[in-house]
Amino acid sequence: MRLLPSRFRRSATLGRRSAVTSMLLAFAVVVVLVTIFILTALDRMADYANRLDDERSRETTSGAIQTFQEQLHATLNDYAAWDDAAQFVYAGDNAWIVGNYGDMTANSDLFDVALIMDTNRNVLMAYQDGAPVTWSPQNFFDSSIWTLFDKASSAGAGTVPEAVGFVETKNGVAAVGVALIRQKSGELAQPVEGRRFLIFGRHLDEKKILKLGETYVIGGLRFAGAGDTAPNMVEIRNIHGKALQRLVWNSRMPGNAAYLQVRPLVYCALAMVGLFFLLLFASGSNTLNRLKADEAAARHLAMSDRLSGLLNRAGFFAALDALVLQSRRSNEDVALLYLDLDGFKEVNDAYGHGTGDKLIRGVAAGLKTLVGETAILARVGGDEFAIALAATDIGRAVETLSDHILGFFGEPFVIGERVATIGTCIGVAISPRGKVSGEELVRRSDMAMYHAKETGRGRTEYYRPEMDAEREERNMLEIDLRIAIERREVDVVYQPVVDARTWRIIGVEALARWHRTGYGPVSPEVFIPIAESTGLIDQLGLFVLHRACETLALWPELKLAVNISPGQFRDPAFAVHVASVFRKTGADPSRITLEMTEGYFIQNPERARAALAKLKQLGVKIALDDFGAGFSSVGYLRQFGFDRMKIDKSLVHALEEGGRAIDLLQATVALARSLEIPVTAEGVETEAQAIQLRLTGCDELQGFMFGKPMSSQEIDIIYRGNRLPGGMSGTA
């Protein structure tokens, strides 16, 4: 045996867990993405700030270089456009020239090279760092010096005869300027061939670069080395555009600095956002879990029966389907035991619903212990229970379990101060390796249970395929019966009822007969239950009553008994229908007895009493039929005011056994008579029985001895011939 597939519970938890994991994962991805976005944005901002700063450094550096060159230009202009110079240079005053130009190259920040040349580029004086030099300009300067020279010397009227630019020298890079020596006013009396030019050079060495860096606040400003690949630099070009040197500096990277400053804050903010989301998620999943728990509780409630605490019908079907599915994999057989209680309704009606509820709880608890933890147990109807179990040796398991259950119901139930005896019938259906679906199992076990009921109480019946055929046959029967009733093909026969002393016919009992077309006669024991369970009995019963009342006109001295099923009683208009039959047929109600079994009186005492009262108002008599066959109690006779009691043939036939049976019969009849209720005995087959019954106190007899149920014509012959029924002669 096996419990409800645990796999289902596990997969549910797994599903929930994986949902939580994927949510966490998505959440983590979002956080990572947001982090990346923010850091990238910050990085870009930093980069932009860096580039902006470098751009500014580049401009400052270019400016510094420009200024360096302009300073030289200004100095050159001072020294060349100078009235003294125009006088002394052109006068050839060498002492003046050396004193004012050559010597000035020593320790000067303004220029460190000074030359005087004539128009034909002949060097008249050349000084560097305070001393005359031996180098020739061609060797010392690059060729751009001559471009500057030409520019300065070829300047026409209106333009300044000066030219400045960077030039590469033997010592490095220098700002170099060439200017015509002239009066401050620009005037010059010299012819072109006699002109003198002043050339200044101002070297840009590392010391000066360092100073520039300090002055302009450009950190690490320097000449680029061979391996220097700094992205930011400024080139120093000569007038030909040739790059002479490159200046680089240390980027300050203000963006990076800012970035470093804000990064911890950003991380902090991100962490807080993450934390917030985590909390949100945690509380969300908490709510989710609670919702799920609520949902599970609701589902559990919807699946369980409140009274017994067991699964209800819906819960059982779900669990059964799961069990069948699982047994397919585990190669086990599934059995379904369907239980229907006998006598529960009686307890409920007799003792009230409180007691009925207690009984159901008691049964549920008892079954639970018998069935154990591993099988599925459910209450699937008012007094119906179902048990499903899976096992490899299912036959043995079912046999043991059903034996135990029947044994359990064999004992009376004690409910408070009351004791109730109830029974059960068990229908069993088996699904070998889960091949039969849960739904089909229910259908089969239900059918088996009905068979068990039909064949007696306290039985276990296994489903057989023939049951389907029987059910099918029953369905066909029902269809045919319906047609027969509609076409009035059902006949009514009459069985004589005789005076117990004279054995003369005093009445008849109307009995229904059905000759099924193509099949032959069908016993009322078969078609009456079908008519009862399908509701056809209303039509059928009234038809028999109608036909019998019509026929009764033939026998003015006879009484008529007609059978009424409990089902007809449930129709609230039943008494109205009966009255209408009497009216239409003109039958005298006082000659008519309606026979009923006690079933309905037990089930619905109040309504039965009311219905009986209405009928009795019509003037008909009521007989309690089949007394002694069921739970008959003399108490009913008095309680409901029956006019007659009919002793069942089983009781009559038991007379042969003598002893106890005779005592019982005598006691029963005596009791009825003491209540002044006359008694009819039915099923009388022998003279001995007839005599015994008369002696006991029965005033009317009925049975094959006096006549089988027969056609109205046959009754007619007996009636008209005034002969004794059953071929008897004389008086008893």
List contacts with Ca ion (CB under 5 A). Answer: 563, 595, 625-626
How far from 96 is each of 19, 104, 129, 430, CA to CA, in Å? 100, 12, 18, 137
Give me the least distance between CB of 626 and Ca ion, in Å please: 4
Amino acid at residue number 499? D
In the complex with ligand C2E, the residue whose CB is nearer, 137 or 683, is 683
Neighbours of 568 (CB within 10 A): 25
The structure tokens listed for 180 are 């015509």
Q: Min. distance of Cβ 728 from ligand C2E in angstroms?
A: 14
Comparing CB distances to Ca ion, the nearer of 64 and 528 is 528
User: Judged by CB, which is closer to ligand C2E: 1, or 492?
Assistant: 492
Residue in this structure with the two tokens 């932009």, named with its chain if needed: 48
Closest to ligand C2E by CB, 423 vs 678, is 678
Residue 581, contacted partner among Ca ion, ligand C2E, none, CB below 5-8 A by kind: none
Least spacing, CB of residue 355 vs ligand C2E, in Å: 31
Nearer to ligand C2E, 255 or 683 (CB): 683
Q: At what angle do helices 687-696 and 660-674 cross, to 10 degrees?
A: 50
User: What is the nearest approach in angstroms of ligand C2E to the Cβ of residue 501?
Assistant: 19
Provide φ and ψ at 251, rounded to 5°. Answer: -60, 140
Nearest Cα to 438, choosing from 335, 342, 361, 536? 335
Spatial strand order of the sheet with 123-128 comes to 131-132, 123-128, 113-118, 196-203, 172-180, 162-169
Q: Minimal distance in Å, beta carbon 377 to ligand C2E?
A: 38
Partner touching 524 among ligand C2E, Ca ion, none, CB below 5 to 8 Å by kind: ligand C2E
- C-beta of 507: minimal distance to ligand C2E in Å? 14
**DSSP code of 3?**
-
Query: Nearest Cα to 694, choosing from 727, 650, 726, 655?
Result: 655
Of 348 and 597, nearer to ligand C2E (C-beta) is: 597
C-alpha span between 123 and 146 (Å, rounded): 13
Taking the least distance from each CB to ligand C2E, the nearer of 181 and 528 is: 528
Number of H helices, E strands in the chain: 24, 25
Alpha-carbon distance of 423 to 573, in angstroms, equals 34
Contacting residues toward ligand C2E, per CB under 6 A? 495, 511-512, 523-525, 528, 541, 544, 563-565, 595, 625-626, 649, 682-685, 703-704, 709
Residue 314 CB, nearest approach to ligand C2E (Å): 38
- Minimum distance, C-beta of residue 593 to ligand C2E, in the bound complex (Å): 12
Q: Please give the single-letter amino acid code of residue 272.
A: M
Q: CA 574, CA 612: separation in Å to the nearest integer?
A: 10
Q: Which is nearer to ligand C2E, 115 or 684 (CB)?
A: 684
Cα radius of gyration rounded to whole Å, the chain: 64
> Minimum distance between the CB of residue 641 and ligand C2E, rounded to whole angstroms?
20
Q: Is the dihedral of CA 127, 128, 130, 134 positive or negative?
A: negative
Q: Is 625 left (phi over 0), alpha (psi -120 to 50) or beta?
A: beta
- For ligand C2E, which is the closer residue by CB, 362 or 524? 524
CA distance 333 to 606: 48
Cα(166)–Cα(156) distance, integer angstroms: 23
- Which positions ≥6 away from 604 have C-beta within 8 Å? 349
For residues 296 and 302, give the distance between their C-alpha atoms in angstroms, rounded to a whole number. 10
Helices 6-80/206-216 angle, 10° precision: 110
Least separation, in Å, of the C-beta of 484 and ligand C2E? Answer: 13
Residue number with CB closer to ligand C2E (356 or 683): 683
Q: Which of the choices Ca ion, ligand C2E, none does residue 565 contact, using the CB cut-off of 5 to 8 A by kind?
A: ligand C2E
